[in-house]
């Protein structure tokens, strides 16, 4: 059997998604590329009789060809150029008697095509200066966005962002409409609306005031999904993998939106959902949400995907989570949260893992990520030491919120500062540390103390000591988790009721 394939890939994404920090423009860029692939797989579309989808993702599509391959490829290129002129695509055709070889040939051709292409599309009309958003393209003479001279590319994306987002959710949730119905304008329009409490003077007591205006950036990447895909020996196996994964992801998205709909903490006072889906396709997902829902969102994500498997392969995710002010730039945050997920992949692919960081400002981490946690006296690769599994997140969120009023936070902070300064071995300092441990232990009743001991064992890989003769270095890990995440360890959002008159 001869396999004749067409592979489409959006290339040079930097100038289609990552060239501006404006949320609506970035959002539209991602959805635009997703829609470009969907145009080709639409069963009622212009290519339905000549292309049969095998596997499609956020910006990539693999199709089997019916008919004249060269003519079809040219028609596809013309369609993309006319409809999505501000993006660049590689469209190539291959054939081979071996399916996997044909797929590899198509990838290689796309890569070669990319190396021969410009970094960005060159349609910009009559130039009138430099675009005030990407600082690269010429601005169009009659285009303005947020009081800045604007290129045609930024203008088209910013104008179409809302429409493309609605189209995305309609497509993904079409079969699940009864479970998760979304009206038009169901979501907040910008990050400030997403992260800020509507009325800071009258908020629910369960949300610390210092979380007002902060957001959580959550990214998840499938572990070894690419290996499963590459292991498909024929088009039917790959088609089945693609179909199964897409259905799992659609159900996941519906359940996550249902969670946000189920709690007043997930909506603004006028009912808009505080959620953004900035990346969706292949084995990657990127969401923005209020900081006060970040850990619970991660926990629910893991619970909803815990039983995933395909063909005997257990499907797990490595996730990254960043807590940060809503005004932080999205592009570097996206790179950071992906790097966090990669740290999880390097340590454990057998289960869902979460690598996380709390930032007061974006440049808090800096370029030396590997040594970031040495500031807390955590040696080696601290990201691995602080890696959270689903079980650890569940334990933390179940145990810590009820204990916050009892635990002596100031004493706990004093311990971590002493460990970070390397003073734990000094006699006078050790006596102060011992008193801090004793006061922490005394603050807990017997039931809570036993639960705390178990949690401590899971976090530090050591036993809790109420009066230690010396302080183990691994204690810094447990103290760091507890204190860094203190404000974000909150009761379940579904258990929260907003008092009358409060607007969240």
Number of Cβ within a 10 Å radius of residue 105: 19
Q: Are 6 and 72 in contact (CB under 8 A)?
A: yes
pLDDT for position 141: 57
pLDDT for position 16: 85
Q: What distances in angstroms separate CA 385 from CA 375, 395, 401, 413, 458, one per listed residue?
A: 14, 17, 23, 19, 11
- Integer Cα distance of 292 and 443 in angstroms: 26
Q: What distances in angstroms separate CA 246 from CA 160, 180, 454, one per listed residue?
A: 25, 17, 38
Q: Which residues contact 42 (CB under 8 A, 6 or more apart)?
A: 48
Alpha helices in 372-498 (DSSP H): 382-385, 390-403, 409-420, 427-442, 446-460, 475-484
pLDDT for position 111: 95
Q: Are 225 and 311 in contact (CB under 8 A)?
A: no
Helix (H, G, I), strand (E, B) or coil at 325: strand
- Integer Cα distance of 283 and 220 in angstroms: 8
pLDDT for position 503: 37
pLDDT for position 498: 54
Q: Which residues of the chain have pLDDT under 70?
A: 141-142, 145, 177, 199-206, 361-367, 496-504
pLDDT for position 202: 42
- Integer Cα distance of 279 and 302 in angstroms: 18
Domains along the chain with CATH numbers = 3-125 (3.30.70.270), 191-389 (3.30.70.270), 405-488 (no CATH)
Describe the strand order of the beta sheet including 60-65 as a list of residue ranges. 51-56, 60-65, 3-11, 88-96
Q: In this structure, what are the phi and psi dihedrals at residue 60, rounded to the nearest 5 degrees?
A: -135, 140
Q: What distances in angstroms separate CA 194 from CA 191, 197, 206, 293, 329, one per listed residue?
A: 5, 8, 18, 11, 15
């Amino acid at each position: 059997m001869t396999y004749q394939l067409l592979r489409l890939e959006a290339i040079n994404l930097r100038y289609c998604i990552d060239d501006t920090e404006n949320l609506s423009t970035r959002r539209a860029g991602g959805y635009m590329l997703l829609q470009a692939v969907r145009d080709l797989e639409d069963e009622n579309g212009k290519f339905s009789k000549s292309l049969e989808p095998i596997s499609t993702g956020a910006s990539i599509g693999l199709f089997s060809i019916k008919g004249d391959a060269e003519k079809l490829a040219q028609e596809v290129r013309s369609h993309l150029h006319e409809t999505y002129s501000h993006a660049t695509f590689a469209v190539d055709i291959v054939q081979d008697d071996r399916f996997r070889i044909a797929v590899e040939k198509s990838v290689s051709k796309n890569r070669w095509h990319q190396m021969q292409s410009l970094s960005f599309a060159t349609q910009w009309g009559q130039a009138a200066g430099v675009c005030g958003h990407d600082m690269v393209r010429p601005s169009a003479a009659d285009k303005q966005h947020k009081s800045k001279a604007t290129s045609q590319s930024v203008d088209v994306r910013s104008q179409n962002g809302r429409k493309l987002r609605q189209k995305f959710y309609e497509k993904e949730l079409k079969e699940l409409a009864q479970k998760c119905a979304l009206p038009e304008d169901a979501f907040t329009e910008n990050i400030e609306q997403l992260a800020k409490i509507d009325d800071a003077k009258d908020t629910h007591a369960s949300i610390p005031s210092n979380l007002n205006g902060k957001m959580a950036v959550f990214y998840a990447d499938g572990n070894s999904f690419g290996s499963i895909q590459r292991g498909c020996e024929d088009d039917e196996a790959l088609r089945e993998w693609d179909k199964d994964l897409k259905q799992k992801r659609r159900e996941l998205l519906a359940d996550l939106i249902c969670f946000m709909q189920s709690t007043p903490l997930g909506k603004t006072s006028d009912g808009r959902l505080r959620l953004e889906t900035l990346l969706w396709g292949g084995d990657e997902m990127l969401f923005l949400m209020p900081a006060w829902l970040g850990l619970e969102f991660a926990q629910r994500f893991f619970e909803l995907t815990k039983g995933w498997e395909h063909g005997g392969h257990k499907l797990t995710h490595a996730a990254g989570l960043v807590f940060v002010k809503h005004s932080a730039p999205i592009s570097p945050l996206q790179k950071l949260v992906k790097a966090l997920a990669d740290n999880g992949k390097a340590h454990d692919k057998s289960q869902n893992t979460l690598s996380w960081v709390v930032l007061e400002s974006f440049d808090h981490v800096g370029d030396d990520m590997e040594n970031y946690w040495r500031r807390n006296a955590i040696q080696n690769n601290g990201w691995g030491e602080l890696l959270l599994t689903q079980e650890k997140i569940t334990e933390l969120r179940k145990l810590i919120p009820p204990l916050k009023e009892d635990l002596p936070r100031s004493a706990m902070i004093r311990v971590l500062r002493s460990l970070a300064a390397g003073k734990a071995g000094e006699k006078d300092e050790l006596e102060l540390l011992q008193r801090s441990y004793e006061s922490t232990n005394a603050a807990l009743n017997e039931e809570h103390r036993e639960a705390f001991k178990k949690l401590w064992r899971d976090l530090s890989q050591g036993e809790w000591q109420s009066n230690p003769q010396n302080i183990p270095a691994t204690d810094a890990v447990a103290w760091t988790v507890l204190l860094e995440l203190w404000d974000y360890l909150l009761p379940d959002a579904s258990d929260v009721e907003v008092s009358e008159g409060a607007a969240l």
